[in-house]
Amino acid sequence: MPAATLFATRASRIQTFHRRKKLHAGLQTDQVGQLTLLQGKNKK
């Protein structure tokens, strides 16, 4: 795999981690699961 592709993949994973961390700050693990479940139901 080319180095540029690896860097882009890693950068997107880091960005996703920080976005989710900001979104779910202060929630317990089970609460995050419930939130994700409800968001999936709302999309339908």
Segment 12-26, tens digit of pLDDT = 888 989 988 888 888
- The Cα 9–Cα 24 span in angstroms is 22
The confidence score (pLDDT) of residue 34 equals 92
State the sign of the Cα–Cα–Cα–Cα dihedral 26, 27, 29, 35: negative
The confidence score (pLDDT) of residue 7 equals 73
Half-sphere exposure of 37 (CA within 13 A, CB side): 6
